[in-house]
Amino acid sequence: MERTTIDVGGARAEHLRAEREGPALVLLHGAGGNAEVWRPVCAELRGFDLAAPSLPGRGDAAGPAPRTAAEAADWVERYLDALRAGAPILVGHSYGGAVALELALRGRAQGLVLVATGARLRVHPAVLAGAEAAAAGGPRLSSRVAFGPGTPEGVIAAYEDAATRTPPEAALADWRACDAFDRMEGLGGIEAPALVISGADDALTPPKYHDYLAERLGRAQRESVEGAGHMLPWEQPRVFARMARTWAAGVT
């Protein structure tokens, strides 16, 4: 996929883009991420018109970073308008799943693929403290805890390299937005069908969060991947893409 820029409301935005025949699929990254973290999954997602934006404040995307999931959803709505995509299938990882839920509540989703996410995303104080220290000039947060225990070190290093396109200040804004997110009482208003996927070894968003989410969404299919952690899409992109592709075939 090509990384390029697009005008969103008069400001420069960055995205991975592959214009193809097929259903529109828009992928929303997690906290501290950017469009590049979706590249391994996009390489496996054939048959879709793909777009994976970077939220403002990272890479070549003009800032500042959104302060809440709702504010991020405001921006993604403008991005969808720029793409001329009314209500695509939204794929959201972690914080991106929170943004996807906000958009679904506004009727901007034909379907939802939600991975490593939940209706509430409280962040451990140690993670917030680490993000604050990094934004103040300290070392970047290690992502090791987000990966399953058997993940090769080279896979983790490749992810951390892609994440360097996100400045620590934007990552901190993301983590704070995650910590403030709470839609535990609002899920009944979502009509779009959903696929809810967890990694069985997710230490940041345990499977019970996904169970709660799936039980309260009106039309949800629940799946789990053994041996995967919070970074399931990066750890096992082929498995994740296959699950998303199979499910989407029944939606579009």
Q: For 143-174, write each residue's pLDDT tens digit.
A: 999 999 999 999 999 999 999 999 999 999 99
Instruction: Categorize the per-residue pLDDT at 218 as very low, low, confident or very high, splitting at 50, 70 and 90.
Output: confident
Q: Locate tokens 């828009």: which residue?
A: 26
Does 95 have pLDDT greater than 80?
A: yes
Domain regions of the chain by residue span: 2-249
pLDDT tops 80 at residue 252:
no
pLDDT at 99 over 90: yes
Per-residue model confidence (pLDDT) at position 250: 87
pLDDT above 90: residue 72:
yes
Determine the length of the chain: 252
- CA-CA distance, 151 to 76, in Å (whole number)? 31
Q: Tell me: pLDDT of 1 over 90.
A: no
Confidence tier at 63 by pLDDT (50, 70, 90): confident
Mean pLDDT over each residue of the chain, to the nearest integer: 96
Provide mean pLDDT across the span 64-82: 98
**What percentage of the chain exceeds 90 in pLDDT?**
94
CATH superfamily name and code, 2-249: Alpha/Beta hydrolase fold, catalytic domain (3.40.50.1820)
Q: d(Cα 156, Cα 234) in Å, to the nearest integer?
A: 9
70 in Cβ contact with 39 (< 8 Å): no
pLDDT at 186 over 90: no
Predicted pLDDT at 7: 97
Backbone angles phi and psi of 141, in degrees to 5 = -60, 135
119 closest CA partner among 190, 53, 32: 190
Mean pLDDT value across residues 14-23: 94
Contacts for 74 with CB less than 8 Å, ≥ 6 apart = 66
16 bridge partner residues: 3, 52
Given a cut of 90, is residue 35 above it in pLDDT? Answer: yes
